[in-house]
Amino acid sequence: MLELRHVSKQFAGSLAVDNVSFSARAGEVTGYLGPNGSGKSTTIKMVVGLIDLTSGEVCFNGSPAHMDPIAWKQRLGYVPEEPHLYTHLSGLEYLVMVGQLRDLPSRPTANRIEGLLQLLGLHDDRHVAISAYSKGMRQKVLLAAALLHNPDLLLLDEPFSGLDVGSALVLRSLIQELASRGKVVLFSSHELETVERVCSHVVILHRGKVVADDSIARLRTLMAVSTLEEIFAQLAVEQDTAALSRQIADLIQA
């Protein structure tokens, strides 16, 4: 189980994440939601170890995760929000490099890479430089790199970005399949419909603070609404969306 205990992050002049606490259990997919700039990606980067926590603690199965950062990173797979990749390498070269850097055994890793490339529909373009890949293809490379070492914890930050419908459906099933096999999955997305289908438990962040942390079913009952979108709108959307859209339309027609 992944636990965040009173985690905060202060950047110069602003508190990006403010005393966030929640847990993501093995065997279920935890949705991590919030508007742009609410601190979702910052939290995930803190969990990964890319940035230091200002205060608080991240624990995995009861032990502090950052006591041994190397061992911690061996257990997690991460799909970042932006497709940061070495674009001068081909998809195959990149995955081989990641396998080598993770010190995975060569032969089984080669087979696993081959299989992932086939299943993700990248096999024909495996020798093409990533710079020539579409956004969806880059996303698939990131996903393959995150799964290559069979991690215990998966941190997915906007994993559906750029994927076509077929690939998105596959990924949706894959996330559920991995969770059912006992992995901890923390999944951040703006696609509320997908989150509603995939996640059993959601954490909603607003201005760096947790404003909801419960199962979707319970939140629906508590707030007397029928969809996750309505829950989200009540908790994290401050503007009157209809009035705002009218203002925009008026502005461009003025």
CB atoms within 10 A of CB 213: 16
Cβ 232 to other proteins, closest distance in Å? 20
Binding test (CB under 8 A) with other proteins, winner from 59, 85, 170, 225? 85
Nearer to other proteins, 7 or 231 (CB): 7
By the rule CB under 8 A, 48 interacts with other proteins: yes
By the rule CB under 8 A, 86 interacts with other proteins: yes
Which residues have a Cβ under 8 Å from the Cβ of 76 and sit 6 or more positions away? 47, 48, 151, 152, 153, 154, 155
Helical ranges in 49-200 per DSSP H: 69-75, 91-101, 106-119, 135-147, 165-180, 192-198
CA 167 to CA 163: how far, in whole Å? Answer: 6
Binding test (CB under 8 A) with other proteins, winner from 82, 177, 193, 240? 82
Query: 87-116: which residues touch other proteins (CB under 8 A)?
Result: 87-88, 97-98, 100-103
> What tokens appear for 94 in the block?
């990149």
Nearer to other proteins, 103 or 224 (CB): 103
By the rule CB under 8 A, 187 interacts with other proteins: no
By the rule CB under 8 A, 74 interacts with other proteins: yes
Selected range binding other proteins among 67-75, 202-210, 215-223, 239-247, rule: CB under 8 A: 67-75
CA 78 to CA 48: how far, in whole Å? Answer: 7
By the rule CB under 8 A, 71 interacts with other proteins: yes
> What tokens appear for 214 in the block?
């419960």
Do 192 and 33 form a contact (C-beta atoms < 8 A)? yes
The footprint of other proteins (CB under 8 A) covers 11-14, 16, 36-37, 41-42, 45, 48-52, 69-71, 73-74, 76, 78, 80-82, 84-88, 97-98, 100-103, 129, 131
